[in-house]
Amino acid sequence: MQSTLIASVLAASLALVANAQATDPAAIARQALDRLDAGEYAQVEQSFGAQMAAAVPADKLKAVWESLPAQVGKATGRGAAEASAQGDATLVRVPLHYEKAELMATFAIDGAGKITGFVVQPAQSAAPAPTVAADAPHIERDLPVGYGERALPGTLAMPKGDGPFPAVVLVHGSGAHDRDETIGPNKPFLDIARGLAAQGIAVLRYEKRSKARPQDFTSGPFGVDEETTFDGVLAVDALRKTAGIDPKRVFVLGHSQGGMMAPRIAAMSGHVAGLVLLAAPARSLLDIVIEQNRRLAVLDDGKTSDAERDAIAALVEQVRIARDPATDPATRSVLGLPVSYWRTIDSVDAVAEAQSVALPMLVLQGARDIQVVDADWGRWRSAFHADKRVAFKLYDKLNHLGIAGEGDGNLAEYNTPGHVDASLIDDVANWIKAH
Protein backbone atom coordinates (compact mmCIF):
# COMPACT_ATOMS: atom_id res chain seq x y z
CA MET A 1 0.00 0.00 0.00
CA GLN A 2 1.72 2.58 -1.26
CA SER A 3 3.34 2.54 2.27
CA THR A 4 1.52 5.39 3.78
CA LEU A 5 -2.14 6.15 4.00
CA ILE A 6 -1.85 9.17 1.75
CA ALA A 7 0.14 7.22 -0.79
CA SER A 8 -2.33 4.39 -0.95
CA VAL A 9 -5.29 6.76 -1.07
CA LEU A 10 -3.90 9.42 -3.34
CA ALA A 11 -1.59 7.61 -5.78
CA ALA A 12 -3.83 8.57 -8.67
CA SER A 13 -2.20 7.92 -12.04
CA LEU A 14 -4.08 9.88 -14.69
CA ALA A 15 -3.00 9.99 -18.32
CA LEU A 16 -3.62 13.45 -19.81
CA VAL A 17 -2.88 15.19 -23.05
CA ALA A 18 -1.44 18.70 -22.89
CA ASN A 19 -2.81 21.81 -24.56
CA ALA A 20 -1.34 21.95 -28.04
CA GLN A 21 -0.42 25.60 -27.58
CA ALA A 22 1.84 24.89 -24.61
CA THR A 23 5.36 23.72 -25.46
CA ASP A 24 7.26 24.19 -22.19
CA PRO A 25 6.88 21.07 -19.98
CA ALA A 26 6.61 23.14 -16.77
CA ALA A 27 3.97 25.35 -18.39
CA ILE A 28 2.05 22.28 -19.51
CA ALA A 29 2.05 20.93 -15.95
CA ARG A 30 0.96 24.24 -14.45
CA GLN A 31 -1.80 24.62 -17.01
CA ALA A 32 -3.18 21.16 -16.23
CA LEU A 33 -3.19 21.96 -12.49
CA ASP A 34 -4.85 25.33 -13.12
CA ARG A 35 -7.63 23.66 -15.05
CA LEU A 36 -8.14 21.01 -12.38
CA ASP A 37 -8.25 23.66 -9.64
CA ALA A 38 -10.79 25.64 -11.67
CA GLY A 39 -13.02 22.61 -12.03
CA GLU A 40 -12.58 22.66 -15.80
CA TYR A 41 -12.66 18.91 -16.08
CA ALA A 42 -14.54 18.91 -19.37
CA GLN A 43 -11.93 21.21 -20.90
CA VAL A 44 -9.17 18.89 -19.72
CA GLU A 45 -11.04 15.96 -21.22
CA GLN A 46 -11.34 17.82 -24.53
CA SER A 47 -7.55 17.97 -24.71
CA PHE A 48 -7.22 14.20 -24.34
CA GLY A 49 -6.34 11.91 -27.17
CA ALA A 50 -9.12 9.53 -28.17
CA GLN A 51 -7.86 6.63 -26.05
CA MET A 52 -7.38 8.74 -22.93
CA ALA A 53 -10.68 10.55 -23.39
CA ALA A 54 -12.39 7.17 -23.27
CA ALA A 55 -10.35 5.95 -20.30
CA VAL A 56 -10.42 9.13 -18.18
CA PRO A 57 -13.65 11.07 -18.69
CA ALA A 58 -14.35 14.29 -16.87
CA ASP A 59 -16.35 12.64 -14.09
CA LYS A 60 -13.40 10.45 -13.09
CA LEU A 61 -11.06 13.44 -13.15
CA LYS A 62 -13.50 15.25 -10.92
CA ALA A 63 -13.81 12.34 -8.45
CA VAL A 64 -10.04 11.97 -8.07
CA TRP A 65 -9.16 15.65 -7.80
CA GLU A 66 -12.01 16.65 -5.51
CA SER A 67 -11.29 13.76 -3.14
CA LEU A 68 -8.01 15.38 -2.08
CA PRO A 69 -9.34 18.15 0.21
CA ALA A 70 -11.56 15.65 2.00
CA GLN A 71 -8.43 13.74 2.98
CA VAL A 72 -5.69 16.36 3.42
CA GLY A 73 -7.57 19.61 3.98
CA LYS A 74 -7.83 22.74 1.86
CA ALA A 75 -5.25 23.57 -0.78
CA THR A 76 -2.99 26.41 0.37
CA GLY A 77 -0.80 26.90 -2.70
CA ARG A 78 1.86 25.38 -4.91
CA GLY A 79 5.64 25.37 -5.08
CA ALA A 80 7.83 25.98 -8.11
CA ALA A 81 7.83 23.43 -10.91
CA GLU A 82 11.07 21.49 -11.46
CA ALA A 83 11.75 19.66 -14.72
CA SER A 84 14.26 16.87 -15.40
CA ALA A 85 14.97 14.56 -18.31
CA GLN A 86 13.83 10.96 -17.94
CA GLY A 87 14.63 8.96 -21.06
CA ASP A 88 12.50 10.26 -23.91
CA ALA A 89 10.21 12.09 -21.50
CA THR A 90 10.46 15.12 -19.23
CA LEU A 91 9.41 14.76 -15.60
CA VAL A 92 7.89 17.84 -14.01
CA ARG A 93 7.37 17.91 -10.25
CA VAL A 94 5.13 20.52 -8.63
CA PRO A 95 4.77 20.69 -4.80
CA LEU A 96 1.13 20.94 -3.68
CA HIS A 97 0.49 22.51 -0.29
CA TYR A 98 -2.52 21.37 1.73
CA GLU A 99 -3.57 22.05 5.31
CA LYS A 100 -2.76 18.57 6.57
CA ALA A 101 -0.04 17.35 4.23
CA GLU A 102 2.51 18.24 1.59
CA LEU A 103 1.90 16.45 -1.69
CA MET A 104 3.85 16.26 -4.94
CA ALA A 105 2.32 16.24 -8.41
CA THR A 106 4.60 14.52 -10.92
CA PHE A 107 3.97 14.73 -14.65
CA ALA A 108 5.61 12.74 -17.45
CA ILE A 109 5.55 14.78 -20.67
CA ASP A 110 6.66 13.44 -24.04
CA GLY A 111 8.43 15.25 -26.85
CA ALA A 112 5.15 16.20 -28.48
CA GLY A 113 4.05 18.06 -25.37
CA LYS A 114 1.62 15.38 -24.23
CA ILE A 115 1.29 14.41 -20.61
CA THR A 116 1.72 10.66 -20.54
CA GLY A 117 1.65 10.23 -16.75
CA PHE A 118 0.41 12.12 -13.72
CA VAL A 119 0.76 10.99 -10.12
CA VAL A 120 -0.08 12.76 -6.84
CA GLN A 121 1.59 11.39 -3.72
CA PRO A 122 3.11 12.50 -0.41
CA ALA A 123 6.00 14.89 -0.89
CA GLN A 124 9.35 13.34 -0.18
CA SER A 125 12.03 15.00 1.86
CA ALA A 126 14.47 16.99 -0.21
CA ALA A 127 17.27 16.04 2.16
CA PRO A 128 19.52 13.34 0.71
CA ALA A 129 20.47 10.29 2.71
CA PRO A 130 23.44 11.07 4.95
CA THR A 131 26.73 9.56 3.81
CA VAL A 132 28.09 6.48 5.52
CA ALA A 133 30.75 7.34 8.09
CA ALA A 134 34.25 6.11 7.35
CA ASP A 135 34.33 4.11 10.58
CA ALA A 136 30.92 2.50 9.98
CA PRO A 137 30.88 -1.33 9.95
CA HIS A 138 29.56 -1.33 6.40
CA ILE A 139 29.95 0.39 3.04
CA GLU A 140 27.43 1.35 0.37
CA ARG A 141 27.75 1.04 -3.39
CA ASP A 142 25.56 1.13 -6.45
CA LEU A 143 23.90 -2.12 -7.50
CA PRO A 144 21.31 -1.80 -10.30
CA VAL A 145 18.25 -4.01 -10.46
CA GLY A 146 17.50 -5.33 -13.94
CA TYR A 147 19.26 -4.82 -17.24
CA GLY A 148 19.80 -2.20 -19.91
CA GLU A 149 17.82 1.01 -20.03
CA ARG A 150 15.04 -0.51 -17.91
CA ALA A 151 17.38 -1.19 -14.98
CA LEU A 152 16.47 0.48 -11.68
CA PRO A 153 19.07 2.37 -9.61
CA GLY A 154 19.85 0.55 -6.39
CA THR A 155 22.11 0.77 -3.35
CA LEU A 156 23.78 -2.19 -1.66
CA ALA A 157 24.64 -1.77 2.02
CA MET A 158 27.46 -4.29 2.47
CA PRO A 159 29.04 -5.30 5.79
CA LYS A 160 32.80 -4.95 5.91
CA GLY A 161 34.70 -8.21 5.89
CA ASP A 162 35.01 -11.25 3.71
CA GLY A 163 31.57 -12.79 4.06
CA PRO A 164 29.70 -14.56 2.69
CA PHE A 165 26.87 -12.58 4.27
CA PRO A 166 23.14 -13.21 4.42
CA ALA A 167 21.26 -10.58 2.44
CA VAL A 168 17.86 -8.91 2.25
CA VAL A 169 15.89 -7.29 -0.56
CA LEU A 170 13.60 -4.46 0.58
CA VAL A 171 10.28 -4.26 -1.32
CA HIS A 172 8.26 -1.03 -1.16
CA GLY A 173 4.69 -0.37 -0.28
CA SER A 174 2.19 1.13 -2.75
CA GLY A 175 3.10 4.38 -4.47
CA ALA A 176 6.04 5.69 -6.45
CA HIS A 177 8.76 5.28 -3.81
CA ASP A 178 12.46 6.00 -3.88
CA ARG A 179 14.99 3.47 -2.58
CA ASP A 180 14.74 4.85 0.97
CA GLU A 181 10.91 4.65 0.88
CA THR A 182 10.92 8.34 1.80
CA ILE A 183 7.71 9.51 3.50
CA GLY A 184 7.92 13.20 4.38
CA PRO A 185 11.11 13.54 6.46
CA ASN A 186 11.25 9.81 7.22
CA LYS A 187 13.32 7.18 5.39
CA PRO A 188 12.32 3.78 6.79
CA PHE A 189 14.22 1.70 4.22
CA LEU A 190 17.40 3.68 4.86
CA ASP A 191 17.01 2.98 8.59
CA ILE A 192 16.42 -0.73 8.04
CA ALA A 193 19.22 -1.13 5.49
CA ARG A 194 21.90 0.51 7.59
CA GLY A 195 20.64 -1.03 10.82
CA LEU A 196 20.86 -4.55 9.38
CA ALA A 197 24.17 -3.92 7.60
CA ALA A 198 25.67 -2.83 10.93
CA GLN A 199 24.79 -6.31 12.20
CA GLY A 200 26.41 -8.24 9.38
CA ILE A 201 23.49 -8.49 6.93
CA ALA A 202 23.73 -7.07 3.40
CA VAL A 203 20.72 -5.10 2.18
CA LEU A 204 19.64 -4.06 -1.33
CA ARG A 205 17.20 -1.18 -1.68
CA TYR A 206 16.21 0.24 -5.07
CA GLU A 207 14.05 2.84 -6.77
CA LYS A 208 10.56 1.56 -7.42
CA ARG A 209 9.74 1.38 -11.12
CA SER A 210 6.82 3.80 -10.79
CA LYS A 211 9.30 6.29 -9.32
CA ALA A 212 12.32 5.77 -11.58
CA ARG A 213 10.60 4.90 -14.84
CA PRO A 214 6.93 6.02 -14.89
CA GLN A 215 7.08 5.92 -18.68
CA ASP A 216 7.11 2.11 -18.46
CA PHE A 217 3.41 2.28 -17.54
CA THR A 218 2.18 4.71 -20.18
CA SER A 219 1.39 2.20 -22.94
CA GLY A 220 -0.43 -1.09 -22.77
CA PRO A 221 -1.90 -2.82 -19.74
CA PHE A 222 0.08 -3.33 -16.58
CA GLY A 223 -0.55 -5.04 -13.27
CA VAL A 224 0.94 -5.48 -9.84
CA ASP A 225 3.53 -7.91 -11.17
CA GLU A 226 4.90 -5.31 -13.58
CA GLU A 227 4.78 -2.74 -10.77
CA THR A 228 6.37 -4.85 -8.02
CA THR A 229 6.86 -8.61 -8.44
CA PHE A 230 9.15 -8.80 -11.45
CA ASP A 231 11.56 -6.21 -10.05
CA GLY A 232 11.64 -7.99 -6.70
CA VAL A 233 12.70 -11.18 -8.49
CA LEU A 234 15.40 -9.27 -10.36
CA ALA A 235 16.65 -7.81 -7.08
CA VAL A 236 16.95 -11.28 -5.55
CA ASP A 237 18.88 -12.39 -8.63
CA ALA A 238 21.19 -9.36 -8.42
CA LEU A 239 22.06 -10.15 -4.81
CA ARG A 240 22.68 -13.84 -5.45
CA LYS A 241 25.20 -12.93 -8.16
CA THR A 242 27.09 -10.44 -5.96
CA ALA A 243 30.48 -11.42 -4.54
CA GLY A 244 30.45 -11.75 -0.77
CA ILE A 245 26.74 -12.69 -0.60
CA ASP A 246 25.60 -16.15 0.46
CA PRO A 247 23.29 -17.08 -2.47
CA LYS A 248 21.43 -19.59 -0.29
CA ARG A 249 20.53 -16.96 2.33
CA VAL A 250 18.80 -14.19 0.42
CA PHE A 251 15.63 -12.98 2.16
CA VAL A 252 12.82 -10.62 1.14
CA LEU A 253 11.50 -7.95 3.51
CA GLY A 254 8.28 -6.47 2.18
CA HIS A 255 6.60 -3.44 3.70
CA SER A 256 2.84 -2.89 3.36
CA GLN A 257 1.92 -3.81 -0.24
CA GLY A 258 5.48 -5.10 -0.58
CA GLY A 259 4.73 -7.56 2.22
CA MET A 260 1.59 -8.67 0.43
CA MET A 261 3.64 -9.37 -2.71
CA ALA A 262 6.66 -10.94 -0.97
CA PRO A 263 5.29 -14.52 -1.14
CA ARG A 264 4.71 -14.14 -4.89
CA ILE A 265 8.25 -12.81 -5.36
CA ALA A 266 9.56 -15.85 -3.50
CA ALA A 267 7.47 -18.24 -5.58
CA MET A 268 8.52 -16.66 -8.85
CA SER A 269 12.19 -16.53 -7.87
CA GLY A 270 12.57 -19.96 -6.34
CA HIS A 271 15.71 -18.75 -4.54
CA VAL A 272 14.37 -16.96 -1.45
CA ALA A 273 15.41 -18.29 1.96
CA GLY A 274 12.65 -16.62 3.97
CA LEU A 275 10.25 -13.69 4.23
CA VAL A 276 9.86 -10.76 6.59
CA LEU A 277 6.40 -9.21 6.35
CA LEU A 278 6.17 -5.73 7.87
CA ALA A 279 2.65 -4.29 8.13
CA ALA A 280 1.49 -6.62 5.35
CA PRO A 281 -2.14 -6.59 4.17
CA ALA A 282 -3.85 -9.96 4.38
CA ARG A 283 -7.01 -8.87 2.52
CA SER A 284 -7.94 -7.23 -0.77
CA LEU A 285 -6.46 -3.76 -1.19
CA LEU A 286 -9.72 -2.55 -2.71
CA ASP A 287 -11.52 -3.32 0.54
CA ILE A 288 -8.69 -1.83 2.58
CA VAL A 289 -8.65 1.41 0.57
CA ILE A 290 -12.33 1.96 1.43
CA GLU A 291 -11.62 1.22 5.09
CA GLN A 292 -8.69 3.64 5.09
CA ASN A 293 -10.79 6.46 3.71
CA ARG A 294 -13.52 5.88 6.27
CA ARG A 295 -10.93 5.80 9.05
CA LEU A 296 -9.18 8.91 7.79
CA ALA A 297 -12.44 10.84 7.62
CA VAL A 298 -12.94 10.64 11.39
CA LEU A 299 -9.36 10.96 12.58
CA ASP A 300 -9.49 14.68 13.32
CA ASP A 301 -12.89 15.29 14.85
CA GLY A 302 -14.61 11.92 15.07
CA LYS A 303 -17.09 12.96 12.38
CA THR A 304 -17.52 12.43 8.65
CA SER A 305 -18.28 15.62 6.75
CA ASP A 306 -20.61 15.78 3.77
CA ALA A 307 -17.62 16.21 1.44
CA GLU A 308 -15.87 13.22 2.99
CA ARG A 309 -19.06 11.16 2.77
CA ASP A 310 -19.42 12.03 -0.92
CA ALA A 311 -15.79 11.14 -1.61
CA ILE A 312 -16.18 7.78 0.13
CA ALA A 313 -19.39 7.05 -1.78
CA ALA A 314 -17.59 7.83 -5.05
CA LEU A 315 -14.77 5.50 -4.06
CA VAL A 316 -17.20 2.69 -3.22
CA GLU A 317 -18.76 3.12 -6.65
CA GLN A 318 -15.33 3.05 -8.31
CA VAL A 319 -14.55 -0.22 -6.52
CA ARG A 320 -17.86 -1.65 -7.69
CA ILE A 321 -17.04 -0.65 -11.27
CA ALA A 322 -13.56 -2.17 -11.01
CA ARG A 323 -14.99 -5.48 -9.83
CA ASP A 324 -17.84 -5.60 -12.37
CA PRO A 325 -16.92 -8.25 -14.97
CA ALA A 326 -18.71 -6.16 -17.60
CA THR A 327 -16.35 -3.19 -17.13
CA ASP A 328 -13.80 -2.61 -19.89
CA PRO A 329 -10.36 -3.40 -18.40
CA ALA A 330 -9.00 -0.12 -19.82
CA THR A 331 -11.47 1.94 -17.79
CA ARG A 332 -9.81 4.02 -15.11
CA SER A 333 -11.49 3.56 -11.77
CA VAL A 334 -10.09 3.55 -8.22
CA LEU A 335 -7.41 6.23 -7.74
CA GLY A 336 -7.42 6.83 -11.49
CA LEU A 337 -5.75 3.49 -12.22
CA PRO A 338 -7.01 1.07 -14.88
CA VAL A 339 -9.49 -1.61 -13.94
CA SER A 340 -7.03 -4.16 -15.36
CA TYR A 341 -4.50 -3.14 -12.69
CA TRP A 342 -7.00 -3.48 -9.86
CA ARG A 343 -8.08 -6.90 -11.07
CA THR A 344 -4.50 -8.11 -10.73
CA ILE A 345 -4.42 -6.66 -7.21
CA ASP A 346 -7.77 -8.21 -6.34
CA SER A 347 -6.53 -11.62 -7.44
CA VAL A 348 -3.72 -11.63 -4.85
CA ASP A 349 -4.38 -13.73 -1.76
CA ALA A 350 -1.21 -13.07 0.20
CA VAL A 351 -2.01 -15.59 2.90
CA ALA A 352 -2.71 -18.42 0.46
CA GLU A 353 0.43 -17.59 -1.53
CA ALA A 354 2.50 -17.57 1.66
CA GLN A 355 1.09 -20.98 2.57
CA SER A 356 2.01 -22.24 -0.87
CA VAL A 357 5.68 -21.19 -0.75
CA ALA A 358 6.00 -22.70 2.76
CA LEU A 359 9.04 -20.61 3.77
CA PRO A 360 10.19 -19.41 7.17
CA MET A 361 8.46 -16.09 7.90
CA LEU A 362 8.67 -13.29 10.41
CA VAL A 363 5.43 -11.28 10.57
CA LEU A 364 5.70 -7.83 12.19
CA GLN A 365 2.94 -5.36 13.01
CA GLY A 366 2.62 -2.03 14.80
CA ALA A 367 -0.39 -1.73 17.11
CA ARG A 368 -0.75 1.97 16.21
CA ASP A 369 -0.94 1.26 12.46
CA ILE A 370 -3.94 3.07 10.92
CA GLN A 371 -3.55 1.43 7.52
CA VAL A 372 -2.98 -2.27 8.04
CA VAL A 373 -5.03 -3.10 11.08
CA ASP A 374 -6.11 -5.86 13.44
CA ALA A 375 -8.14 -7.65 10.77
CA ASP A 376 -5.01 -8.24 8.72
CA TRP A 377 -2.85 -9.15 11.72
CA GLY A 378 -5.55 -11.55 12.85
CA ARG A 379 -5.73 -13.29 9.48
CA TRP A 380 -1.96 -13.85 9.44
CA ARG A 381 -2.07 -15.22 13.00
CA SER A 382 -5.02 -17.46 12.28
CA ALA A 383 -3.41 -18.95 9.18
CA PHE A 384 0.05 -19.60 10.64
CA HIS A 385 -0.30 -19.81 14.43
CA ALA A 386 0.53 -23.54 14.39
CA ASP A 387 3.37 -23.27 11.86
CA LYS A 388 6.70 -23.50 13.69
CA ARG A 389 8.44 -21.85 10.75
CA VAL A 390 6.51 -18.61 11.31
CA ALA A 391 7.21 -16.08 14.08
CA PHE A 392 5.10 -13.08 15.04
CA LYS A 393 5.82 -9.82 16.82
CA LEU A 394 3.37 -7.03 17.68
CA TYR A 395 4.82 -3.67 18.77
CA ASP A 396 2.56 -1.60 21.01
CA LYS A 397 3.93 1.83 20.11
CA LEU A 398 4.79 1.50 16.42
CA ASN A 399 2.90 2.96 13.44
CA HIS A 400 2.74 1.81 9.83
CA LEU A 401 6.32 2.95 9.20
CA GLY A 402 7.71 1.10 12.22
CA ILE A 403 8.25 4.40 14.04
CA ALA A 404 7.27 4.76 17.69
CA GLY A 405 4.68 7.21 18.97
CA GLU A 406 2.14 7.77 21.70
CA GLY A 407 -1.64 7.61 21.75
CA ASP A 408 -3.78 6.73 18.76
CA GLY A 409 -2.14 6.64 15.37
CA ASN A 410 -2.68 9.62 13.09
CA LEU A 411 -1.77 10.91 9.66
CA ALA A 412 0.35 13.80 10.96
CA GLU A 413 2.94 11.32 12.23
CA TYR A 414 4.12 10.73 8.68
CA ASN A 415 5.34 14.32 8.54
CA THR A 416 7.10 14.12 11.92
CA PRO A 417 10.79 13.15 11.76
CA GLY A 418 11.56 9.77 13.29
CA HIS A 419 13.38 6.49 12.77
CA VAL A 420 12.38 2.85 12.53
CA ASP A 421 12.44 1.40 16.02
CA ALA A 422 15.79 -0.15 16.88
CA SER A 423 14.15 -3.16 18.55
CA LEU A 424 12.30 -4.00 15.32
CA ILE A 425 15.56 -3.89 13.36
CA ASP A 426 17.25 -6.05 16.02
CA ASP A 427 14.40 -8.57 15.83
CA VAL A 428 14.78 -8.82 12.05
CA ALA A 429 18.56 -9.20 12.33
CA ASN A 430 18.33 -11.93 14.97
CA TRP A 431 15.71 -13.83 13.01
CA ILE A 432 17.75 -13.74 9.80
CA LYS A 433 20.90 -14.87 11.62
CA ALA A 434 18.93 -17.81 13.01
CA HIS A 435 17.92 -18.88 9.49
pLDDT in tens, 387-417: 999 999 999 999 999 999 998 887 778 888 9
Does a structural domain hold residue 358? Answer: yes
Q: Which one from 47, 180, 400, 421 is the annotated catalytic residue?
A: 400
Decide if 84 is inside a domain: yes
Q: What is the pLDDT of residue 2?
A: 37
- The boundaries of the domain holding residue 150 are 138-282+348-433
Angstrom distance (rounded) from CA 420 to CA 41? 41
31 band by pLDDT with thresholds 50, 70 and 90: confident
Residue 8 has pLDDT above 80, yes or no: no
Q: Please write the tens of the pLDDT for every residue from 268-301.
A: 999 999 999 999 999 998 999 888 888 877 776 7
CB 225 within 8 A of CB 344: yes
- Out of 347, 366, 401, pick the residue that ends a domain: 347
Distance separating alpha carbons of residues 81 and 310, to the nearest angstrom: 31
pLDDT at 72 over 90: no
The answer, yes or no, to whether residue 250 has pLDDT greater than 60, is yes
Q: What is the pLDDT of residues 338-383, one digit of tens each?
A: 888 899 999 999 999 999 999 999 999 999 999 898 999 999 999 9
What is the value of pTM for the model shown? 0.78
Please indicate, yes or no, whether residues 3 and 58 belong to a single structural domain of this protein.
Answer: yes
Tell whether 212 and 352 lie within a shared domain. yes
**Closest by Cα among 158, 171, 159, 236 to 207:** 171
Looking at the fold, whether 147 and 240 belong to one and the same domain comes out as: yes
308, part of any domain: yes
Q: Is residue 382 included in any domain, yes or no?
A: yes
CB neighbour list of residue 256: distance below 8 Å, 6 or more residues apart:
1, 2, 3, 8, 172, 173, 174, 278, 279, 280, 281, 371, 372, 400
Q: Of 181-190, 296-305, 316-325, 354-363, which gets the smallest average pLDDT?
A: 296-305
Predicted confidence at residue 213, as pLDDT, reads 85
Mean residue pLDDT of the chain comes to 85
278 in any annotated domain: yes
Query: What is the pLDDT averaged over residues 111-117?
Result: 72
Q: Average of pLDDT values for 41-65? A: 69
Please indicate whether residue 182 or residue 309 has the higher confidence score (pLDDT). 182
Residues 227, 210: Cα–Cα separation, whole Å: 7
Residue where a domain stops, chosen among 347, 365, 400: 347
Of 126-130, 180-184, 199-203, 346-350, the poorest mean pLDDT is in 126-130
Q: Which of 180, 369, 376, 421 is catalytic?
A: 369
Average pLDDT over residues 175-189: 91
- Which segment of 25-29, 214-218, 250-254 scores lowest on mean pLDDT? 214-218
The average pLDDT across 1-19 equals 34
Q: Which of 175, 210, 203, 164 is nearest to 1 (CA)?
A: 175
Q: What is the pLDDT of residue 49?
A: 54
Q: Judge if 55 and 172 occupy the same domain.
A: no
Considering the domain architecture, whether residues 376 and 412 belong to the same structural domain is answered as yes
Asked whether the predicted pLDDT for residue 12 surpasses 50, the reply is no
Pair (209, 307) in one structural domain: no
Q: How far is CA 10 from CA 70, 73, 190, 293, 357, in A?
A: 11, 13, 24, 10, 32
Looking at the fold, whether 3 and 106 belong to one and the same domain comes out as: yes
| Residue 11 in this model has a pLDDT that exceeds 50 | no
Active-site residue flag, 387: no
Predicted pLDDT of residue 120: 76
Q: Across 88-97, 198-207, 294-303, 305-314, which has the greatest mean pLDDT?
A: 198-207
Contact present, 251 and 276 (Cβ < 8 Å) = yes
Beta strand 245-255 pairing with 165-171 = parallel
Q: Is 408 a catalytic residue?
A: no
Q: Are residues 193 and 259 in the same domain?
A: yes
Residues 271 and 297 in one domain: no
Give the confidence band of 306 by pLDDT, cuts at 50, 70, 90: confident
Please give the tally of structural domains in the chain: 2
133 lies in some domain? no
Q: Using pLDDT thresholds of 50, 70 and 90, give the confidence band for residue 86.
A: low
Q: Are residues 255 and 190 in the same domain?
A: yes
Annotated catalytic residue within 256, 284, 333, 340: 256
Q: Residue 239 domain-assigned?
A: yes
Pair 243, 268 in one domain: yes
Instruction: Give residue 273's pLDDT.
Output: 98
Q: Is 361 a member of any domain? A: yes
Q: Under a CB-based contact definition with an 8 Å cutoff, are residues 100 and 412 in contact?
A: yes
d(CA 234, CA 318) in angstroms, rounded, equals: 33
- Residue 203 forms beta bridges with which residues? 157, 168
CATH for 307: 3.10.450.590
User: Where residue 174 sits, what CATH number does that domain have?
Assistant: 3.40.50.1820
What is the structure's pLDDT at 169? Answer: 98
Asked if residue 117 and residue 39 are part of one domain, the reply reads yes
Q: What is the pLDDT of residue 21?
A: 33
Query: Is residue 193 over pLDDT 50?
Result: yes
256 labelled catalytic: yes
Last residue of a domain, one of 303, 327, 347: 347
